[in-house]
Amino acid sequence: MFKEFKEFAMRGNLVDLAVGFILGGAFSTIVKSLVNDIVMPPLGLVLGGVDFADLIYPLDGNTYESLEAANEAGAPVIAYGLFINNVISFLIMALALFFLVKGINSMKRKQEEAPAEVPPPPRQEILLEEIRNLLAKQQG
């Protein structure tokens, strides 16, 4: 059973999947930082100094200055600002993956369209053709 598990775990596809999963997690962190630290602050400024992370709807009827204040009070809230941040993160990640897949497909198409080089004929064939041509010259 251990041998079977080792064969399964060391398959190329599984190792590739693990590497992809780890890189995907790192890429997700970068995209979240891009959205939260670079995209959302200017967008919030344009919309009147709104911090999307603090856009909440308290379910207890009270008003809170921020999501942190609502969490400290133990109030149930709908944090739709965080949802907006996550939707933007998703869209950026989906766009990046779209361009990645599009690039890979383009490279594959170019490889398929490239004419395959015909290998030169073997030396024996070349010699036989030369002999044939010489015989044809002698007869004609």
Other CB atoms closer than 10 Å to residue 74's CB: what's the count?
A: 7
pLDDT in tens, 58-75: 999 999 988 999 999 999
First to last CA, the chain: 76
pLDDT value, residue 93: 84
Other CB atoms closer than 10 Å to residue 52's CB: what's the count?
A: 21
Other CB atoms closer than 10 Å to residue 66's CB: what's the count?
A: 14
Contact 38/45 with Cβ under 8 angstroms? Answer: no
All structural domains of the chain with their residue ranges:
2-116
pLDDT in tens, 5-30: 777 777 767 777 788 889 888 888 89
Full-prediction pTM beyond 0.75? no
Q: Tell me what the pLDDT averaged over the chain comes to.
A: 86
φ, ψ of residue 75 to 5 degrees: the values are -85, 140
Other CB atoms closer than 10 Å to residue 49's CB: what's the count?
A: 8
pLDDT in tens, 95-107: 888 898 898 888 8
Instruction: Give the list of residues 6+ apart from residue 1 with CB closer than 8 angstroms, or none.
Output: none
At 90, which helix (H) or strand (E)?
helix 80-113
Does CATH place domain 2-116 in 1.10.10.10?
A: no
pLDDT value, residue 83: 93
